[in-house]
Amino acid sequence: MALAGASDRADWLGEAGWGVMVHFLPDWIDPEREWTSEEWTRQVDGFDVETLGRQLRDAGAGYLLFSIGQNSGFYASPNATYDRLVGIRPGRCSRRDLVGDLSEALGKRGIRLLVYLPAGPPAKDPAAVRALDWRGDGHPNREFQSRWEQVIREWSRRWGAGVAGWWFDGCARPNTMYRSPDPPNFASFAAAARAGNEAAIVAFSPGLFYPVFSQSPHDDYTAGLIYDFERSFVSEHRLESGKLDGARLHVLSFLGETWGRGEPRFSAEEVVACSRKVLGYGGAVTWDVPVGPDGVVAEPFFDRLRAVGREAGRFRGGPAKRARRPTKD
């Protein structure tokens, strides 16, 4: 059950109604390449935040969920704590603060920014796994968690109010790792994410489940990972004013053939129908779409997003409210 009053942080998410997720990761951009730090730096430097910001504004999205990093060990923002703990030289954190630049580009268009980060170490970087003292699934991993929270805390303080929330992947063994009465636990995990912005919303993903649920008192919104919109993704009798157990209803799925890849699996009419199911409950839906190496959403995905934006206001009884007043380009 969410902490009393805490879920109010995510009221804006229900008002926004829908948003977009982007996986910008080296092993997704070119899985065959043995990436170097310099190559990753050049890739991040070429990300076009202004064009993506215009696309999201034109589509009517209320927020973007952006990947800081994942399994490769390369990250899209500097982090001195990570570099110190891991000790890899040259470091694998980009020199450009792409998250900060995205926050600025989106903010002036009235769009909020959420960030995605795994709850575990970068699995494809054995040196980082060892340095962070990850003992593997099934262990409490208390040393790892303490170190990971230090890394998260630095990023949160760097971005401050520019990042409106976090989505943590892979929190699949909560009893083992996060439900201790003493830190590190869910409370310290959430506190690290909110170190720079007390209003930041947090969700801990348990993985793929139907119906979706909130697994921690510190969830402001449901992680809501689903693949199939034909299945019952919500228990209506447990839903109250767009919330499940105190956490704002939120669903995350992919618009391509899988996460960040492939051709659209839904027509424009179908993606609108899927979105309508979530928004009709007072929740929010996030659509993951592929982007090019420059961070730009290609047709026909942009066409699908525009279709959702055109119809979203009708689902909720009016246009989505924006986090900030948008400005012209």
pLDDT score of 324 = 38
pLDDT score of 237 = 84
Q: Residue 195 domain-assigned?
A: yes
**Residues making up the chain, counted from first to last:** 329
Q: Residue 81 domain-assigned?
A: yes
Nearest residue to 299 (alpha-carbon basis) of 60, 55, 106: 55
- 144 lies in which domain range? 6-316
pLDDT score of 316 = 55
Q: Residue 325 domain-assigned?
A: no
Q: Residue 322 domain-assigned?
A: no
Q: Residue 227 domain-assigned?
A: yes
Q: Provide the residue-wise pLDDT of the chain in tens; the chain has 329 residues.
A: 455 445 589 999 999 999 999 999 999 989 889 999 999 999 999 999 999 999 999 999 999 999 999 999 999 999 999 999 999 889 999 999 999 999 999 999 999 999 999 999 999 999 999 999 999 888 999 999 999 999 999 999 999 999 999 999 999 999 999 999 999 999 999 999 999 999 999 999 999 999 999 999 999 999 999 999 999 999 888 898 899 999 999 999 999 999 999 999 999 999 999 999 999 999 999 999 999 999 999 989 999 999 999 988 766 543 333 333 345 57
Q: Which amino acid is it at 303?
A: D
Q: pTM for the complete prediction? A: 0.94
Between CA 36 and CA 31 the distance in angstroms is: 13
pLDDT score of 1 = 46
The counts of H helices and E strands in the chain are 12, 10
Q: Residue 126 domain-assigned?
A: yes
Between CA 178 and CA 167 the distance in angstroms is: 16
Q: Residue 134 domain-assigned?
A: yes
pLDDT score of 7 = 53
Residues 6+ apart with CB under 8 A from 252: 21, 65, 167, 223, 224, 225, 226, 285, 286, 288
Q: Residue 167 domain-assigned?
A: yes
How many domains does the chain divide into? 1
Q: For the domain that residue 165 is a member of, what is the CATH number?
A: 3.20.20.80
pLDDT score of 4 = 41
